[in-house]
Amino acid sequence: MLAYIVKRVLRSILSVFIIICIVFVLLRMLPVEGYFGGRYDLLTEEQRQMELYRMGLLDPVPVQLFNFLRQLVTEFDLGLSSRIRVNVPVTTVIADRVPISVQFGLISVAIGMPLGMALGVMMSRKKGGVWDKAGTGYVAILNAVPAPVYMVLIQLYGTMLLGAPLTFRFDSPMSRVLPIITMCLPIIAINAFWMRRYMVDEINRDYIKLAQIKNVPTTTIFFRHVFRNAVVPMTNLIPLSILGTIWGQIIIERLYSIPGMGGLLIDAILARDNALVQALVIMFSAIGIFGLLLGDLLMAFVDPRIRLHKKGAAR
Amino acid sequence: MENNRKVLFSIKDLNVKFSLRGQMLHAIRGISLDIYEGESLAIAGESGSGKSVLMKNLIGLLDKNGRIESGSIMYNGKDLAKFKNEREWRTIRGSQVAMVMQDPMTSLNPLKTVGWQVSEALRYNQNKRGNEAKQCAVEILADVGINDPERRYNQYPHEFSGGMRQRVVIAIAMACNPRLLICDEPTTALDVTIQAQILQLLKELQAKYNLTMVYITHDLGVVANVADRIAVMYAGDIVEIGTCDEVFFNAKHPYTWALLSSLPQLGERKSDLFSIKGTPPNLFFGVRGDAFAVRNPLPMAIDFLHRPPYFQISPTHKARTWLLDPRAPALEPPEQIESIKDI
């Protein structure tokens, strides 16, 4: 087990390193305006070259990459923002936005995931039954309708019916209700979908039949054998979907003017804030890899076939 | 075999139908069968002949789209064919009837230890829990030939080989302490060398616990050593039933002849392996006459018109074929099966 964890962690670190290198090299191709903020047009060509030289941007790319990595590791320095918040370290810019996204994301996942899994379980109990049909309809509609459509509709009618505020305010709990409901909908759908699928897989297993043969009560079989085993592949999904919910709410955060992470990358790209774009792209990929890692570790924790595998190899 | 033994299960004129894609499939077509206490009965037939379906009726595990159309299954004064809900079936499952399934690689829960799975059976059938259950489970594991059962108790199925897993499945069945053990092709998924060991184990357990056994198989060779009686099924019906010797050496039904002819014989190099031409009848449509007539190399006109009744050959041996009617021409069984001397 320990060997497996160490190996898996090392592999993830290697992946992150490779991604940083690739992203860094690619982003060297961005137009250099992005490093000057609003001053680009005011400077002469010589002044621009001076400034680029001072920032080390005229060095060969490998040297730049090495300096970047050194600063990242030693001081956790990802450079300065040039347009979104002028001359503020990008780590600060990002850190200020993280808590609110984390808050919304975690609450939505905490509500949506159990609901989705419960719906999936209900759907799996009777194939073609009322729950199954209703649930399948829900998943299908939610996937077929473009997300902005139902998001806007919820905002429109939600504010009318519930009297909830149209935009987010830190001091108003009510203003969090509609964004959270909106975030929950796809979480419920995806979890219900996978849960149902894994439950149905399990129900048809031979060992469920053997449990019946050995006279285990139906509800006990359902929870102790079917549900327990169906959760295993779900655990692989959980970390990534949590992280995705936290960082991925671009439209919803825009709609309700929530100062979260979601819109930041787009803002940075539009504003040509090179250092911030670079930091965000690296961060998103690192988070993705971290999510996969966490999923695999959780899976190893619940599945003895991985946990006890002598060579510690991933299956 | 003496005829006055106690009947454990008595199946009478059982008809089972499945609804499949809006059509009715007549899977069991009027079977009557007595299972005697302490005997070992083999049910042989090709895939789809209904042998598994027939036995699933004894344990209430018929697939959801199937139902008993008519007939009765008497056990202990109760008619299992009338059972409606899980509560009634739970009085039978495990403690009265247990089953060993075909594929040991998939019949154990991969996330639970082997010992836990045996203990679970003890808990729901013998009401043993905790340490008592563990002790008992270790004993049973030793009983089915698993070395070092204390250590093995805490291991997971993936740490066992196929043969060892089948022993665990058998241990689970034994932990239920049943009166009837149904073995649904218990050796099909195993290596040939392991097959013999597993059959030997089942035989020993039967003697030790005075079990009644039913073997479901498509391989007559497998059951020759373990079965007292053999019932040959074809198209949802028992076409011939008799003691092991009677079916092997004095078979009367053309289908039994064909089955026996297709057994490979050691040391016979002369000819290709015999195979039965054609396919079994489609049970979506009614079967007229003798179901085997269309594949029978020498059918009689009446085979296509009327379903043959059973003709009693000896007190323990009967077959459903018009060949046994006094008016039928004498027909000798094919020579291939003459060479079957010992199996």
Domain residue limits, chain B: 233-339
At which residue do the structure tokens 């018109």 appear? Answer: B305
> Phi first, then psi: what are they for B20, rounded to 5°?
-135, 120
Q: Distance between terminal CA atoms of chain B?
A: 20
Instruction: Sort out which chain A residues have CB atoms less than 8 A from B121's CB and list them.
Output: 214-215
Distance (Å) from the alpha carbon of A204 to chain B's nearest alpha carbon: 11
**Mean per-residue pLDDT, B253-260:** 91
Q: Do A209 and B93 touch (CB under 8 A)?
A: no
pLDDT at B195 over 80: yes
| Alpha-carbon distances of B325 from A244, B251, B310, rounded to whole Å | 77, 15, 10
DSSP states of B183-231 as a string? Answer: EESTTTTS-HHHHHHHHHHHHHHHHHHT-EEEEEES-HHHHTTT-SEEE
Mind listing the pLDDT tens digit for each residue in B318-329? 999 999 988 888
Burial A99-134 (b: 16+ CB within 10 A, else e): ebbbebbebbbebbbeebbebbbbbbeeeeeebbee
Looking at the predicted complex, does its ipTM rise above 0.90? no
CA distance B61 to B184: 13
Chain B nearest-CA distance from A216, in A, is 6
Segment (H or E) for B106: none
Residue given tokens 């003890």 in the structure block = B122
Domain extents in chain A = 95-273
Q: Which long-range contacts (CB under 8 A, 24 or more apart) does A178-181 make?
A: A178/A154, A178/A256, A179/A104, A179/A249, A179/A252, A179/A253, A179/A255, A179/A256, A179/A258, A180/A104, A180/A107, A180/A108, A180/A111, A181/A154
Please give the average per-residue pLDDT across B199-223, as a whole number: 91
Min distance A123 CA to chain B CA atoms (Å): 17
Query: What pLDDT score was predicted for residue B221?
Result: 82
Q: What whole-number distance in Å separates Cα of residue A153 and Cα of residue B156?
A: 52
Sheet bearing B78-79, strands edge to edge:
B23-36, B7-20, B66-75, B78-79
CA dist list (Å): B257 to A82, A241, B120, B197, B261: 91, 63, 45, 29, 6
A95-273 has CATH 1.10.3720.10 classification: yes
pLDDT tens-digit map of B113-152: 999 999 999 999 999 999 999 999 999 999 999 999 999 9
B159 CB near a chain A CB, below 8 Å?
yes
Which residue from B minimizes the CA distance to A224? B112
Rounded Cα distance, A309 and B101, in Å: 27
> Looking at the partner chain, which of B106, B156, B176 has a beta carbon nearest the beta carbon of A215?
B176
For residue A57, give both structure tokens. Answer: 């941007």
- Chain A hits for B99, CB-CB cut-off 8 Å, are 210, 213
pLDDT of residue B269: 63
Nearest-by-Cβ selection for B111 from A209, A210, A303: A303
pLDDT at A303: 87
Contacts of B84 (CB under 8 A, 6+ apart): none
pLDDT along chain A (315 residues), means of 10: 87 92 86 75 84 82 88 85 84 90 91 95 90 95 92 90 84 88 93 94 93 93 94 87 82 88 84 86 88 88 76 41
**How many residues make up chain A in this entry?**
315
Alpha helices in chain A (DSSP H): 2-27, 45-54, 61-75, 90-125, 130-144, 147-162, 177-203, 206-213, 218-220, 228-247, 250-255, 264-271, 274-302, 304-307
Asked if residues B277 and B295 have their Cβ atoms less than 8 Å apart, the reply is yes
Cβ–Cβ of B158/A304 closer than 8 Å?
yes
Q: Given this model, what pLDDT does residue B270 score?
A: 64
pLDDT for the residue A314: 40
Query: Is residue A142 packed enough to be buried (19+ CB in 10 Å), middle (13-18) or exposed (0-12)?
Result: middle
